[in-house]
């Protein structure tokens, strides 16, 4: 099995021991081990990341799909774009099989989904959240934003755990030390593969245009069927949403935010 996430690969190796060879794409390219059956887990990441900043993922897929007897592509977000792109390889090799685990649907829909008027509105909302109440997840676009937000929230007295790309394997240890932080702050790396505590609220600090990544990121809430809320900058994909209800909810929250922000002491505003 080839996993694009080191944390997930480590977990599988621990659970399965020697029954299945589990590697990341980079590990496989270093060893060049061929097997009759190959499973690509979270294949949409091979598709998107392999075309941008992790080209070796796509190289791994091309080589293994040619020489294995059976190749299985696992994903919970099988988009038409992926189907169209991989259809070429399916015509060349009749040993490639899709395993659609989610059909681009959320297991549990959010109880509240609000489209925010701006990123600043979401940032102000984050800063007035109560402490020690629930675990909340913040998705940032860039690595430096994650670090800035962790510094900011700790200055405000919140407990935080952060994760950057290439560091997902360290998250279990971090969560052992701080199992229920006020905020988990991350890039898209935590949209897959790492077990998180129950997430009550998810905040997006940038618009997510890719439906596959959006589903994976929103699905970090409700993993065990619990209710959760989402605050984002785009309308939801495939969910019932009413702009009038959204406007009323945003207006009401804005009034409460204005009241709380005016009561903040001077030290609260310092960086």
Q: At 58, phi and psi to the nearest 5? A: -70, -35
User: In sequence order, which ranges of the chain are alpha helices (DSSP H)?
Assistant: 6-16, 25-31, 43-49, 55-67, 80-92, 119-127, 143-155, 171-177, 211-218, 243-262
* Total length of the chain: 271
44 in a structural domain: yes
Adjacency order of strands within the sheet including 70-75: 37-40, 70-75, 96-100
Residue 91: inside a domain, yes or no? yes
pLDDT value at residue 267: 46
- Residue 165 exposed, middle or buried by CB count within 10 Å (0-12, 13-18, 19+): middle
264, 132: one domain: yes
Examine the fold and report which residue of 66, 100, 134 is the final residue of a domain before the chain moves on.
Answer: 100
Q: Is residue 1 part of a domain?
A: no
Q: How many domains does the chain have?
A: 2
| Same domain membership, residue 132 and residue 75 | no
Write phi, then psi, for 193 (nearest 5 degrees). 75, -20
Statement to judge: residues 162 and 240 lie in one domain? yes
Task: Report the alpha-carbon distance of residue 79 to residue 242 in Å, rounded.
Answer: 25
Does one domain contain both 241 and 162?
Answer: yes
* Domain containing residue 196: CATH number: 3.40.50.300
End-to-end CA separation in angstroms for the chain: 46
What SS3 state is found at 164?
coil
- What pLDDT, on a 0 to 100 scale, did the predictor assign at position 271? 46
**Residue 193 DSSP code:** S
Domain interval for residue 122: 112-269
| Residue that finishes a domain, picked among 100, 120, 149 | 100
**Whether residue 186 sits in one domain with residue 236:** yes
Same domain membership, residue 128 and residue 243: yes
Q: Does residue 133 sit in the same domain as residue 79?
A: no
Asked whether the beta carbons of 240 and 156 are under 8 A apart, the reply is no
Please say which residue of 45, 71, 100 terminates a domain: 100
Residue 108 has a CB neighbour count (10 Å cut-off) of 15
91, 183: one domain: no
Between the alpha carbon of residue 149 and those of residues 7, 177, 214, 226, 253, the distances in Å are: 23, 20, 21, 26, 22
> Which pair of tokens denotes residue 269?
């505003």
Same domain membership, residue 235 and residue 172 = yes
Q: What is the pLDDT along the chain (271 residues), one digit of tens a residue?
A: 999 888 888 888 888 877 788 988 888 887 877 888 899 998 888 888 887 778 888 888 888 888 888 889 888 777 777 777 777 666 556 688 888 766 667 888 999 999 999 999 999 999 999 999 999 999 999 999 999 999 999 999 999 999 998 888 889 899 999 999 999 999 988 987 788 999 999 999 999 988 888 988 999 999 888 999 999 999 998 888 899 999 999 999 999 888 877 766 554 544 4
Question: Quick check: is 173 in a domain?
Answer: yes
Distance CA 169, CA 163 (A): 9
pLDDT of residue 89: 67
Residue 107 lies inside a defined structural domain of this protein: no
Domain-located, residue 189 = yes
**Helix intervals (H) in 106-142:** 119-127
The answer to whether residue 105 is domain-embedded is no
Whether the model clears a pTM of 0.85, i.e. scores above it, the answer is no
Domain assignment present for residue 106? The answer is no
Shared-domain flag, residues 70 and 193? no
Statement to judge: residues 19 and 116 lie in one domain: no
Say if residue 74 is in the same domain as residue 152.
Answer: no
């Amino acid at each position: 099995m080839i996993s694009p996430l080191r944390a997930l690969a480590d977990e599988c190796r621990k659970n399965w021991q020697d029954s299945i060879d589990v590697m990341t794409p980079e590990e496989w390219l270093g060893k060049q081990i061929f097997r009759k059956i190959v499973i690509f887990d979270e294949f949409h990441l091979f598709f998107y990341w392999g075309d941008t900043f992790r080209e070796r993922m796509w190289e791994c897929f091309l080589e293994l799909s040619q020489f294995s007897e059976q190749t299985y592509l696992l994903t919970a977000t099988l988009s038409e774009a992926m189907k169209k792109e991989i259809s070429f390889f399916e015509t060349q090799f009749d040993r490639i099989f899709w395993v659609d685990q989610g059909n681009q649907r959320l297991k549990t829909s959010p109880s509240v989904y609000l489209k925010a008027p701006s990123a600043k509105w979401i940032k102000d909302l984050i800063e007035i959240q109560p402490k020690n109440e629930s675990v909340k997840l913040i998705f940032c676009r860039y690595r430096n934003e994650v670090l800035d937000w962790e510094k900011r929230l700790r200055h405000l007295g919140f407990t935080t755990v952060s994760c950057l790309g290439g560091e997902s394997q360290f998250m279990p240890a971090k969560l052992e030390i701080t199992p229920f932080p006020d905020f988990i702050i991350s890039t898209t790396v935590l949209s897959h593969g790492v077990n998180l505590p129950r997430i009550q609220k998810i905040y997006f600090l940038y618009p997510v245009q890719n439906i596959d990544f959006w589903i994976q990121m929103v699905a970090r809430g409700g993993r065990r069927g619990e209710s959760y809320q989402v605050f984002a900058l785009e309308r939801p994909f495939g969910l019932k949403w009413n702009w009038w209800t959204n406007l009323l909810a945003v207006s009401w929250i804005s009034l409460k935010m204005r009241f709380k922000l005016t009561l903040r002491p001077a030290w609260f505003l310092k960086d």
